[in-house]
Amino acid sequence: MKGRSEILKVGTNEMELVDFRIFKYEGDEIYEGIYGINVAKVREIIRFPKLTELPGVPSFIEGIFDLRGVVIPVVNLAKWMGVVAPEEMSKNSCIIITEFNNILIGFVVHEAKRIRRINWKDIEPASFISGEGGLDGSKVTGVTRIENDGVLLILDLEGVVQELGLYQPAHGKLEAGKYSFSGYVLLLDDSATARRIIRDALEEMGFTVIEGTDGEQGLQILEDLYRTYGSEISSKLRLIASDIEMPLMDGFHFAAKVKADNRFKMIPIVFNSSISDHFSDVRGKEAGAEAYLVKFDSNLFYDEIARVVNTHIQ
């Protein structure tokens, strides 16, 4: 599964995702919910293993199991969404083993269907979604249309994990006076929560933060800044901090465009993503980024941002 990440070339603005299904009853009918997760976050898909139950946890945490020496917590997505699933579907469930933020977590799904290649331009933000299988827009990062007038929802599984308390970003207090930078940083991330965390860290370092939600908006912001500062833009905009997974235009495609533009190519780019596989790190460097960070260890973030900005100054 991990090797598939090498197939996608930098700058294509495409992603591959695992199409999986969650079934539920609506009256006497069985409704098929269509969902997806980025292949880059999927370690493997396995049959339902024997689990060890954990006392005192929410019902949607099925338990834990040992996967080749690593203890994996397992979350039942149907239960988390409040879905009453047909018994025959539950019997055929499988587990998608995910890896993000350098941790492994299993998610129970009723069927893993296929791998789809989709252009980020065809993925729309999901802020308008409400009530889909107990979900709200904050639990979905994007939607895209598929065959037969179907709609696939890309779930924010990191949000699920943080909500359950299985993962918490490592926050460290910045030593007073350690950094005193000035100038602008362009911050791109479609998650309001992630933007808040990263913005606070950058402002602690002294930067003024300009925010955007995707690569297309990032390019427009760069054009606006160039109209204001012209050839001095690289001395005013000290850094671009970008997520990878964003609707309309992903971070890789955005970076490739920036580095191909003589007006902006000297501005350093740091990727800050939950994708923790080696191939994304390599692709980030191929796109021209100066660094690739996995969300979110604040001490590492402070030091790496300072290193990149200082190198650029010199």
Which DSSP string corresponds to 182-196?
-SEEEEE-S-HHHHH
Nearest-CA neighbor of 280 among 12, 6, 1? 6
Residue 171, pLDDT score: 62
Residues 189 and 155 both lie in one domain? no
Which CATH number belongs to the domain containing residue 253 in this structure? Answer: 3.40.50.2300
| Residue at 44 is within a domain | yes
Residue 78, pLDDT score: 86
Residues 94 and 206 both lie in one domain? no
Residue 131, pLDDT score: 47
CB proximity list for 185: less than 8 A, separation 6 or greater: 202, 207, 208, 209, 210, 237, 238, 239, 240, 241
The Cα–Cα gap between 86 and 130 comes to: 23
β partners of residue 144? 152
Does the pTM surpass 0.85? The reply is: no
| Residue at 298 is within a domain | yes
Nearest-CA neighbor of 209 among 218, 219, 200? 200
Residues 207 and 136 both lie in one domain? no
Among 164, 193, 208, the domain boundary falls at 164
Residues 24 and 122 both lie in one domain? yes
pLDDT, mean of each 10-residue run, the chain (314 residues): 52 87 84 91 93 89 94 90 72 87 89 93 73 54 89 82 66 75 95 87 95 96 98 95 93 95 96 86 90 86 94 76
The Cα–Cα gap between 182 and 206 comes to: 5
- Measuring CA to CA, how many Å separate 81 from each of 33, 124, 153, 178, 221? 11, 22, 13, 44, 37
Residue 65, pLDDT score: 96
Domain that holds residue 129: 2-164
Residue 181, pLDDT score: 93
Residues 83 and 207 both lie in one domain? no
Residues 155 and 209 both lie in one domain? no
